[in-house]
Structure 1
Amino acid sequence: MTGGRSHLDPLAALRAPGDPACDVYLTGTVFLDIVFTGLDAAPVRGTESWARGMGSSPGGVANMATALARLGLRTSLAAAFGDDMYGDYCRDALEQGEGIDLSMSHTVPGWHSPVTVSMAYEGERTMISHGHEAPPKDEVLEGGRECPPPARACVASLVPGEAQEWIATAARRGSRIFADIGWDETGGWDLSALPDLAHCDAFLPNAVEAMSYTRTDCPRAAAHRLAEQVPLAVVTMGAEGAYAVDGGTGESAQVPAIAVEALDTTGAGDVFVAGFVMATLAGWPLADRLACAGLTAALSVQEFGGSLSAPGWAEVAAWYQHVRSYDVQDPAALRRYGFLDALLPRCARAWPLRRAVPTIGFRA
């Protein structure tokens, strides 16, 4: 099960008649990602560099959607797709390859797909993107369906100084809102400039973002400050792991990161959020949610690309079997990730797993 649809449903025990058909809804821009790998160094101006590997995949918001779907969540994505070959490729990869519901998405005639070229070397990445903003879609789709649809949860990216109406609508309909934030280009770092924060159940910034918004000099202090604004604050701290504070109960938890050799960090933040959303919807304890999110993110950075690297349950099971093996048994990992015993099927696949690298142009 490398990529594609998950055969493990983490919410199976919780599903009941009358539940929304969608577990998670999200919206955003889908890019075609072209990733060059095997570069010995950064390209030098005026020279030609040859890469030893290349892969293509849907990127942008597709990174998050793919990560959610590979963890077994029924995922609905609203996005614009161009009517070019790139758009067809991305739509097919998400809908047919990953089982993501695209009924809320739309095709824009004459609009070309946004493209990002990423070059990975020495554990770093350099990206060049091009695209134009897509025209908005109607809020009411064919057949009278409304967007956003009923969903257990929604994943949103907050924008400083901008209220996104769909977030308030989704929260009003009972969806739990999980939000992250990008770099504040205005330099204001003002929590009051994030109006949609009031609708969020969980806020998941990185350490720099959290400290900037709270005017603190410690990620843990920042998490406690943010927990005064949202029910749950989660701050990612890179190699130090992640720290979370439940604003309602006062509970806090910290889980260290798994030490891995990072090949490409593209999409790792999306994978972390996806793992945390899945574990939260499944009702896991706070520390286990952090551990699950950190594990999935650690597995993703060992592969190249964004959605290409998002792990499924086969990857998680293979890793857990590896740390339980006689030769490399890790007692600390066994204690921290013991919650996987009741969830994962036996997995006989070899470790480490290697992914196929897809490309555009082959025809069946």
Structure 2
Amino acid sequence: MDEQPVLDPLAGLRAAGDPDTDVYLTGTVFLDIIFTGLDRAPVRGTETWARGMGSSPGGIANMATALARLGLRTTLAAAFGDDVYGDYCWDSLRDGEGIDLTPSRRIPGWHSPVTVSMAYEGERTMVSHGHRAPPPEGAVPACPPPARAAVAALGHRSESQEGDWIADAAASGTRIFADVGWDDSGRWDPADLDALRHCAAFLPNAEEAMRYTRADSPREAARRLAELVPVAVVTLGAEGACAVDSSTGETAEVPALLVETLDPTGAGDVFVAGFLTGSLAGWRLADRLAFASLCAALSVQEFGGSLSAPGWTEIAGWWEQAKAYAGRSGGRPAEREALVRYGFLEDLLPTGTRPWPLRRAVPTVGFRPAPRPPDAPGE
């Protein structure tokens, strides 16, 4: 197993009797195959060659990996096929990232869902294939394990609304962080967000927030959503993110960090993981928002949604570079603002530690180890 994270953001908060799990997740794990280096969108009737390719666990694995790399004890309940893709995803998450897969299941004869993602012009186009896991293996556990927090996907097609696990988990003291997917039915029915009454925070993107609230702007949408949930966070794409905490009256907004994007797959999941980490650690709203934006910005510079997620050493490396650049630039306003915005990292980040060797997306998945000849000597 890879070396463990060098920082536990909840170290000062842990006490006897706390749940073993920091964050509980459930959802679908995909095998993601990502093509990058495309000059333009594929055109019908033509063949398009990509300059880069990577494969990694995807779907709910994006968020699970991001949380684990930030030092949170993460438990995932998901179905895994018994094919080579399922083997790869299971081993990557359990052995490579230290994610607890105790409530997850291997299903004989069920093939792993697959998504092919093509990244170009800072965006992505995806094609997915898969079948719903057969019952009872595909069902969410009736009683999720005790956890500090859980992430729930809302919306009219959400599997997380099967049963009443969100309400049960919230009633037991678990803080629910909710996100939502695109409503391809076009209804955008606010009733699909009824479970927000059980949630601590809701993190949609700008388009989703405006469509559900019928608001004219993302910021107005955030204010309306804050009437339904204690903390409403709306991601604004290239503009950054904004948030409203109705329990304190606090608001915050941060601009996006300007980085070169290789692959935006999973950036939204990494953003949620960063915000959730800061929330459990008790940071102020502006710091949580800035940290989430930083995690997402670092993730888009690598292949793959899950294995692009940054660890603490990478975050510390970015902070040292930011301070050095601000010093060389003579303290221009933009650099000074960044140093102030991310100054909370100074006393948080590790120093003098050797890098944690994070796994990255691999070019191909599907090769099993060659069998040893019958007369090969034993080890």
* Residue aligning to 1:341: 346
Give the distance between the partners of 2:267 and 2:345, measured in 1 at CA. Answer: 21
Q: Does the 8 Å contact 1:104/1:147 carry over to 2?
A: no
Following superposition of structure 1 onto structure 2, how do residues 51-130 of structure 1 map, counting pairs within 5 Å? 51-130=50-129
The 3 A distance-change label for structure 1 pair 283 and 7 is same
* Residue aligning to 1:271: 270
* Residue aligning to 1:150: 146
In structure 2, the gaps of 5 or more residues are 371-379
* Residue aligning to 2:287: 288
Give the distance between the partners of 2:84 and 2:104, measured in 1 at CA. Answer: 17
Give the distance between the partners of 2:207 and 2:138, measured in 1 at CA. Answer: 35
* Residue aligning to 2:374: none
Q: Does the 8 Å contact 1:106/1:137 carry over to 2?
A: no
Give the distance between the partners of 2:181 and 2:233, measured in 1 at CA. Answer: 15
Give the distance between the partners of 2:42 and 2:139, measured in 1 at CA. Answer: 47
> Aligned partner of 2:251: which letter?
S
Following superposition of structure 1 onto structure 2, how do residues 40-55 of structure 1 map, counting pairs within 5 Å? 40-55=39-54
Give the distance between the partners of 2:191 and 2:43, measured in 1 at CA. Answer: 43
Moved more, 186-195 or 242-251: 186-195
Give the distance between the partners of 2:344 and 2:194, measured in 1 at CA. Answer: 36
Q: Does the 8 Å contact 1:204/1:236 carry over to 2?
A: yes
Cα drift, residue 46 of structure 1: 3.0
Q: Does the 8 Å contact 2:79/2:137 carry over to 1?
A: no
Identical residues among aligned pairs (%):
68
Cα drift, residue 362 of structure 1: 6.7
Q: Deviations over 1:65-85 (max 9, x none)?
A: 111111111000000000111
Q: Does the 8 Å contact 1:78/1:105 carry over to 2?
A: yes
**SS of match in other structure, 2:153:** strand
* Residue aligning to 2:328: 327
Give the distance between the partners of 2:172 and 2:51, measured in 1 at CA. Answer: 49
Taking structure 1 as the reference length, the TM-score comes to 0.91
Give the distance between the partners of 1:213 and 1:42, measured in 2 at CA. Answer: 30
Following superposition of structure 1 onto structure 2, how do residues 164-313 of structure 1 map, counting pairs within 5 Å? 164=162, 165-313=164-312
The 3 A distance-change label for structure 1 pair 347 and 210 is farther
Q: Does the 8 Å contact 1:118/1:125 carry over to 2?
A: yes
In structure 1, the gaps of 5 or more residues are none
The 3 A distance-change label for structure 1 pair 122 and 349 is farther
> Aligned partner of 2:84: which letter?
M
Q: Deviations over 1:315-347 (max 9, x none)?
A: 111110100114356221111101001111126
**SS of match in other structure, 1:120:** strand
The 3 A distance-change label for structure 1 pair 302 and 349 is farther
**SS of match in other structure, 1:118:** strand
Taking structure 2 as the reference length, the TM-score comes to 0.88
Cα drift, residue 48 of structure 1: 2.8
Aligned length: 358
Moved more, 100-109 or 50-59: 50-59
Q: Deviations over 1:98-132 (max 9, x none)?
A: 11000010011100001111122232222111110
**SS of match in other structure, 1:307:** coil
Q: Does the 8 Å contact 1:4/1:99 carry over to 2?
A: no
Moved more, 216-225 or 120-129: 120-129
Cα drift, residue 193 of structure 1: 2.9
Cα drift, residue 41 of structure 1: 2.8
Q: Deviations over 1:286-318 (max 9, x none)?
A: 110101101101111122221121111111111
The 3 A distance-change label for structure 1 pair 43 and 5 is farther
Cα drift, residue 237 of structure 1: 1.0
